[in-house]
Amino acid sequence: MAVVLARLRMPLTYLALAAIAVDAFVFDLPRWPLLALLAVAFAIYLRVGTARRAAVEVAPPVTGRWLAFNSPADRVPSHHLHAYGQTYAIDLVHDPADARRPGLAWWPLARRPADFPGFGQPVLAPADATVVRAHDAERDHWSRSSPPAMLYLVAEGMVRELLGPGRILGNHVVLDLGDGAYAALAHLRRGSVRVRPGDRVAAGQQLAACGNSGNSTEPHLHFQLMDHPSVLLAAGLPVAFDHFQVAGADQAGLPGNLEAFTAGSRRTA
């Protein structure tokens, strides 16, 4: 059922938006069917239709010290909605111990992407895979790292939704991992994508660099697994990292929300 709902999620949402436009500007539509369509579309968009299956284990797509935001280890759907296959998505923000990462503040209203240590960090293939989509045309915008900028992000996000998923994801790569699982890596730096559709990549191979394209507050990597190469039709799939460290202790699974973790170093006995 979750897969069926995923395939219907965005078409129903667009149909509901089209119905609103027709009702507002062309002619009146029957009220109760219109309200029912809106209720069903947005319920599926936000909450209904969680895919339940064993987590797909992959390598972390980054190295070094990072913070986990919107982690499905603590909440599902992790980004408060199922749309665009994001049910189990996780955001990774580079936070090295020896460099300061700017936080939320009233001033400056926005910062250049290069002010953040994550900008330009390597983004790696999480497994052996085939590239099915690679988009590299979106600009890296200034951060949305102040309260006024966050309000702007909300309005900006609505416009991006109307313009299609490419404007939400920004520069991105989609990989076919096999066995019906696909990985999406989003908000990449413009001009950094090194692969093209049809390329075979190995686990740990650099695909691109971390950027601030698309619907993003600051340079970070948005990472998710899904059951379809198109985020418009995909159901999000559970994901687990095969190895990372928290406070020097080896772990597997996913870091919790706001938890600092280190990837790319494995303790030997």
For the stretch 53-94, pLDDT in tens is 899 999 999 999 999 999 999 999 999 988 899 999 999 999
Half-sphere exposure of 63 (CA within 13 A, CB side): 11
H helices present in the chain, as ranges: 2-25, 31-46, 147-163, 165-169
219-267 pLDDT tens trace: 999 999 999 999 999 999 999 999 999 999 999 999 999 999 999 855 4
Tokens of 15: 């149909």
Give strand pairing partners of 208: 123
- Highest-scoring range by mean pLDDT, 15-29, 33-47, 202-216: 202-216
Pairing of strands 236-237, 122-124: unpaired
DSSP count for the chain of H helices, then E strands? 4, 14
pLDDT range class, residue 269, cuts 50, 70, 90: very low
Q: What is the pLDDT of residue 10?
A: 83
| pTM for the whole structure | 0.90
- Give the bridge partners for 175, in sequence order: 131, 183
Using the predicted structure, report yes or no on whether residue 17 has a pLDDT greater than 80.
Answer: yes
CATH topology of domain 56-263: Glucose Permease (Domain IIA) (2.70.70)
> How far apart (Å, rounded) are the C-alpha atoms in residues 241 and 255?
9
CA distance 239 to 185: 13
DSSP 31: H
Percent of the chain with pLDDT over 90: 67
- Kindly give, in sequence order, each residue whose CB lies less than 8 Å from that of residue 101, ignoring residues fewer than 6 positions away: 93, 94, 95, 116, 117, 118
d(CA 30, CA 228): 35
Residue 160 has pLDDT above 50, yes or no: yes
Residue 265's pLDDT is 59
pLDDT the model gives residue 56: 97
State pLDDT tens for residues 163-197: 888 899 999 999 999 999 999 999 999 999 999 99
Q: How far is CA 148 from CA 108, 209, 234, in A?
A: 10, 28, 33
Domain boundaries, the chain: 2-46, 56-263
CA dihedral in degrees (159, 161, 165, 171; nearest 10)?
Answer: 40
pLDDT digits (tens, 9 = 90+) for 101-135: 998 899 999 999 999 999 999 999 999 999 999 99
Selection from 230, 146, 15 nearest residue 23 by Cα: 15
Residue 12's pLDDT is what? Answer: 86
